[in-house]
Amino acid sequence: MNTFLRRVVLALVLATASGLTGAGAVDRLRAFTRDTQTASASFAQVVYDKTGRKVQEASGKFQLQRPGRFRWVYEKPNAQLIVGDGRRVWTFDEDLNQVTVRAFDKVLGATPAALLSGTQEIEGAFELSELPAAEGLEWVGAKPRAKEAGAAGIRLGFAGQNLARMELEDAFGQRTVIDISALERNPRLAPETFKFFPPRGADVIGD
């Protein structure tokens, strides 16, 4: 999984974890994760380099189901699909007609994304903090405890009870901002949503 896609999965972690404690915005995150078993939404994603220059833009839709199942569909600028079925993570690049597949634990390993499996308490992996309200949102800060986590810090912004924005900064100062819209909590999702079968003729790389 490339760095750009991995940031998305890392951001998804905090939207699918459980076991939070705290007050204010942290309580909102706790309620959101406790009460949201499935979700679907649209997203717009922008990546900035350490100087603040915009270097990438993407948009699409995602669906998730706790624990450990997710489907991210990049529609623009390039068609790309990431599916986590609880056992494997599949990445399909339509332009290259190439599929990369890895065992779930090998892809996510000891990174914060391991929380997608629901086997780790979030406070064991992150230091959580209340941040000042800004841009009309209530903010939670999450600093990974593990040095190899891949993200220097994560911020989650809530509008009311709903997650509205995720911001990630990596060790090189690159920042990823993901705005979430049309969020639907606890929709009925077909089991096929989180299954993937490589298209005929595609190159398959990995486990």
Select the more confidently predicted residue: 39 or 107.
39
Peptide bond into 67 cis (omega under 30): yes
Model confidence over 61-92: pLDDT tens digits?
A: 988 887 778 888 988 888 889 888 888 889 99
As a whole number of angstroms, the distance between CA 159 and CA 166 comes to: 12
Instruction: Provide mean pLDDT across the span 118-144.
Output: 77
- What residues have CB less than 8 Å from 60, skipping those under 6 apart? 42, 43, 72, 73, 74, 75, 76
Q: How far does CA 189 lie from the centroid of its chain? A: 18
* Greater pLDDT, 22 or 92: 92
pLDDT at 115 over 80: no
Q: Which of 14-28, 88-102, 141-155, 159-173 has the lowest mean pLDDT?
A: 14-28
Rg (CA), the chain: 16
Q: What is the pLDDT of residues 94-113, one digit of tens each?
A: 889 999 998 876 665 433 34
Considering the domain delimited by 3-206, tell me its CATH architecture.
Clam (2.50)
List, in sequence order, every residue forming a beta bridge with 89; answer none if it has no partner.
84, 102
